Amino acid sequence: MRLGVDGQAFFPPEVVIQVKALACELPCEQGIPLSRFSHAELARQAVARGLTAAISGTTVWRWLSADAIRPWSFRSWLFPRDPAFAKKAGRVLDLYQGLWDGRPLSPKDYVLSADEKTSIQARQRKASGCAPAPGRLRRVEHEYERHGAVAYCAAWDVRRAKVFGLCRPTTGIATWQALVDHVMHQEPYASADRVFWITDNGSSHRGQAAATRLQGWYKNAWLVNTPVHASWLNQIEIYFSVVQRKVLTPNECADLQSLVDRVLQFQAYYETIAKPFKWKFTRKDLERMLNKIRQSGKQRKAA
């Protein structure tokens, strides 16, 4: 390390390269009990290994953040391992485009997206919060008492922007059937030609057994599963994210019934302002995504 003309520390390029190489190492492979290095820890290791006499974590951060490829960073993801991923995802995307088996849906066909939001807790805060003030946000007490939990089972009509839901103590086939009954007893679904139910692979509505069971309940009900690890293709998850932001954050309910009332009241309110979601991900986007994943897999094998 030397000082530049402006008094700032100057490091030779070889030191920068060595610190970046250090950042690419796994600490556990060096006998260090860490899952990954922080900037401050990298600075300490650089000094301990004699790469430089002194360096700050901020300098290390500046070097690493400037790189286009950052092997020291990571994020979790779920790899699409379903062998029929393209086929299953394509069917869902076609339904969002108003198609089934390459043919347009009829006016008497309906597409529903359904799932359960599990274990929603009723949380009563142990102390009153503080109202907002100039320069200060509203404060919500961190500690709370639990007053039970419910599962919110809901279905979203993709083309009509209608939402149906109910709250039950647990999920399961009985809860799933209660939702299906709630929807299919109403018009226009009771007299529809086909009602497509898009669901993920939850235990109560996955596979051929669930599809057969659904058609045993209602002859015009068709089950369409998303691929494994592809709940993001299910539009009901968008609605659940709205519920999470607008109803459950922060979660403050004196008892379980208050929570149930709030969720169902929001459901009725949301219907008055809801519009179909602008779904833009198509089969072409799916093919591009899968090609990119395939190329990445080939590169990993080559490495």
**100 plus 166 within the same structural domain:** yes
- Measured CA to CA in angstroms, residue 202 lies from 80, 116, 118, 170 at distances of 17, 9, 11, 13
**116 plus 185 within the same structural domain:** yes
- Asked if residue 145 lies in contact with residue 178, where contact means CB atoms within 8 angstroms, the answer is no
In a domain, 134, yes or no: no
**95 plus 208 within the same structural domain:** yes
Split into its structural domains, the chain has a count of 2
In a domain, 288, yes or no: no
pLDDT > 70? residue 5: no
**203 plus 119 within the same structural domain:** yes
Q: What is the pLDDT of residues 100-150, one digit of tens each?
A: 999 999 999 999 999 999 999 999 999 998 999 999 999 999 999 999 999
Specify the range with the lowest mean pLDDT, choosing from 3-17, 81-95, 259-273: 3-17
Task: Quote the domain boundaries for residue 46.
Answer: 2-65
What pLDDT does 273 receive?
Answer: 96
What DSSP line would sit under 32-53, residue for residue? ---SS--HHHHHHHHHHTTS-S
Question: Which CATH number goes with the domain that contains 188?
Answer: 3.30.420.10
**19 plus 108 within the same structural domain:** no
**11 plus 101 within the same structural domain:** no
Say whether 144 sits in a helix, a strand or coil: strand
Q: What is the pLDDT of residues 239-276, one digit of tens each?
A: 999 999 999 999 999 999 999 999 999 999 999 999 99
Relative orientation angle of helices 13-23 and 39-48, to the nearest 10 degrees: 120
* pTM, to two decimals: 0.82
**100 plus 194 within the same structural domain:** yes
188 upstream amide cis, omega within 30 of 0: yes
